[in-house]
Structures are given as structure tokens and as C-alpha cells.
Amino acid sequence: MADYYDLLGVGRDADADTLKRAYRSKARKFHPDINKEPGAEDRFKEIGRAYEVLSDPQTRARYDQFGEAGLGGAAGAPDMGDMGGFADLFETFFQGFGGPGGAAGGRSSRRGPQQGDDLRYDLTIDFEQAVFGQEQEIKIPHLETCDTCGGSGAKAGSGPTTCGTCGGAGQVRRATRTPFGSFTQVAECPNCGGTGQVIADPCNACGGQGVHQVRKKLRINIPAGVDTGTRLRVSGEGNAGPRGGPSGDLYVFLTVKSHPRLRRDGLNILSTVNVSYLQAILGDTIEVETVDGDTPLEIPPGTQPGTVLTLANKGIPKLGNPVARGDQKVQVTVQLPTRLSDPERTLLEELAGHHSARGKQHHHHNSGLFARLFGQK
């Protein structure tokens, strides 16, 4: 399905009046009684669904955070650790077969303040930020308790009144006759939403919702050693709860960008370095890139292609214990020349001849050959 804001033709910062005007205009255009084109009825239904979601601050906030996945009740519950959706489902199912005693009592908690929803924020950081940690500033849209009405949703000097539909019970009962007998089904009151109370004179600032959406700046501390998939919890920065209830939490999910030359393997960092065949044979000290900057690495004489050398304590700090740190593993690649100059070829052929003459001592002469060959480079 298309984005709800695009369906209504409004920006993501549209206020309630803008949404209402856009909805009325689109609904008139695609109403089945007026528009007989194929697909008009489906479009009309989509527009109605979009307005239903965006006109309510709470469902709009969930949609802004998660898209349509956030509107399915329990869709985000496993990640957030919020079991509210499952509890409501469990309660509704069993109350459908219950007697009159426990029905109203099960919903009584909904009249008072409730815990707000948890929120998810996805943050991408650089490789170095993940290694050493950093303080980061983010902006999140979340619901805050309305300052004007204190979360009650009613204008100053007024308050909620008992719902006339359910008599304050928060639920309505409906008898259903089936071939197996009559069953009484208990459902949430459609008039008051299960609270047992309605607001006759709603607060102008929040439209009677008791909360309003605010974009807030936050500074979060990213600890050293995090990796893609690490989840940071920021207490009390989720959505404010209905009727002045406490806020939920904000969960920041991290994604770490890959480094062009360094690769993470647990607490170790893997990299590759290229050396010439002469450096591999004679040995050398070279500069290697690490997260701490360029660091000297000794190439021992006679180093074979594929050898892995270790730079101790140049790896990833352990999350929660940054004193414990991994190593950097450097794999050595030996580059062989594809073209030789005439002097280089002469020296190599002379060296090859000395190696093939078995049983003879050429140590000092060979060393001289290496020095002359190395001087050619």
C-alpha cells in the first residue's frame, strides 16, 4: 500500500485541520457514487484507512516510527518487550465467555494513567564510532503529555463524564443465538474505547487526546565496542502514556558501516598488507593502518605469502569492559613483479645459478647479490 501521507496528499508535518480538509477532498473525488472508474472504490477505502490512522496522534506516531507494521497491534511487541497487545487479546478472548462478574473489573485499569508505548529508532554509525564509542545527537518524534490539560484531554475546569453507552463499565454485552445455544459476548465499548468515561468538552490544544506529538533532540551515549544489532535503551523517552501515564522507553538499534580496508571478526580486526618479494625475503618494517592510526609492523625475513602477523591490542574493545581489547590480524600478500628490467633479470639469473649449484658455500656472495638486487628497486 502507498504511504498514507501520499494517499492524502499532505506533508508529514500536517496538522489535524489540514488532514481533515485533504481527506474530505480526496473522499469526494473517489467516492464510488461519484467516481465510476475501475479501482476508485479501493482507492476510497485506502484514503479512509489513511485518515483513520493519521487523525489519531497515537496511531500516527506508531505509523511514523514503524510504517504499517506498527499498526498491527503486536507486530513490534517481541522487539520492544511490550506485552500490552498480547494481554489485551488474552483478556478479550476469555471475557467473551465469562460471566458478568469479572467483565467490568478486568478493564478498570484503563480508566487511570497507563504506561506509554516504547519506540524504536534506527541509527547508522561509522566503524570508528563503534570501536571507540561516542556521544551522538538524534531527533525523535514522540508523544508528550499535553501541558494544557495535564493529560486529561478535557478543558480546564471540566473533566470526564460517565459514558452513557456502557454506564461506565467500559464494555458492552451482546447476546448471540447459535445452533449450540445462546452466548453472551463482551466487547470494548465503542463510544468510550473501554475507559468508561467520555470527554464532553475536549482540550483545544490536544483535541481531547491528552497527548501531542513533539520532535525532541536527545544526546545518547554509544559505548565502545558496539556492533550491528546492538540495542541501546533510553529510559522514559518513548511515548507518553494515556491520561497522564508514564512514558515508555526508546530503543536505539545500531547499524555499523563497513570499513573499506578493515573488517571486524568478534573482538579482532582483520586486514591485508601487500609487500614486495624482496621485503618478504629480506624482512622489513612497514606502516600498517589500524583504528589507532598508522602503526609499525615488522615483516620477519623469509615471510611466506599468506602469513598472518598480529598487532596486539589493536582490535575491538569488549562491550562493557573496554580495558579488554582484541588484536589486529594482518595477512601478508607477497607481490611478484610482472616485468623485470635487464639488470634485475641478470641478478636473479645469477642468484638462481648459485642456488642450483648444490654443495657449495655461497652465503656471503648471495648476500651481496640480494643487496645489489634490492638496490635496483
Mean pLDDT to the nearest integer, 351-377: 57
Q: What is the pLDDT of residue 272?
A: 97
Mean pLDDT to the nearest integer, 119-137: 95
Burial letters 301-312, b for 16+ CB under 10 A, else e: eebeeebebebe
Q: What is the pLDDT of residue 85?
A: 39
Q: How confident is the model at residue 308 (pLDDT cuts 50, 70, 90)?
A: very high
pLDDT tens readout for residues 2-31: 789 888 999 888 888 888 889 888 888 888
Answer yes or no: are the C-beta atoms of 251 and 120 closer than 8 Å: yes
Is 110 a residue whose pLDDT tops 70?
no
Identify the H or E element spanning 6. helix 4-8
Mean pLDDT to the nearest integer, 236-265: 93
Q: What is the pLDDT of residue 158?
A: 77
Q: How confident is the model at residue 178 (pLDDT cuts 50, 70, 90)?
A: low
Beta strands at 211-222 and 171-178: parallel, antiparallel or unpaired: unpaired
Q: How confident is the model at residue 274 (pLDDT cuts 50, 70, 90)?
A: very high
Q: What is the pLDDT of residue 181?
A: 66
Report the phi/psi class of residue 67: left, alpha or beta, with left for phi > 0 and alpha for psi in -120 to 50.
left
Long-range contacts, 167-173 (Cβ 8 Å, 24+) = 168/196, 168/197, 169/103, 169/104, 169/107, 169/196, 170/104, 170/107, 170/108, 170/110, 170/111, 170/194, 170/195, 170/196, 171/95, 171/103, 171/104, 171/107, 173/100, 173/103
Q: What percent of the chain has pLDDT over 90?
A: 39
Is 74 a residue whose pLDDT tops 70?
no
Is 374 a residue whose pLDDT tops 60?
no
Q: What is the pLDDT of residue 98?
A: 39
Amino acid symbol at 256 = V
Q: What is the pLDDT of residue 360?
A: 52
pLDDT tens readout for residues 194-224: 778 888 888 888 888 889 899 999 999 999 9
Is 359 a residue whose pLDDT tops 80?
no
pTM listed for this prediction: 0.59
Q: How confident is the model at residue 88 (pLDDT cuts 50, 70, 90)?
A: very low
Answer yes or no: are the C-beta atoms of 186 and 243 closer than 8 Å: no
CA dist., res. 277 & res. 337, Å (int) = 8
Is 377 a residue whose pLDDT tops 70?
no
Report the phi/psi class of residue 318: left, alpha or beta, with left for phi > 0 and alpha for psi in -120 to 50.
beta
Q: What is the pLDDT of residue 73?
A: 44
More confident site: 80 or 373: 373
Q: What is the pLDDT of residue 1?
A: 58
Displacement of CA 306 from its chain's centroid (Å)? 38
Q: What is the pLDDT of residue 118?
A: 93
Answer yes or no: are the C-beta atoms of 65 and 154 closer than 8 Å: no
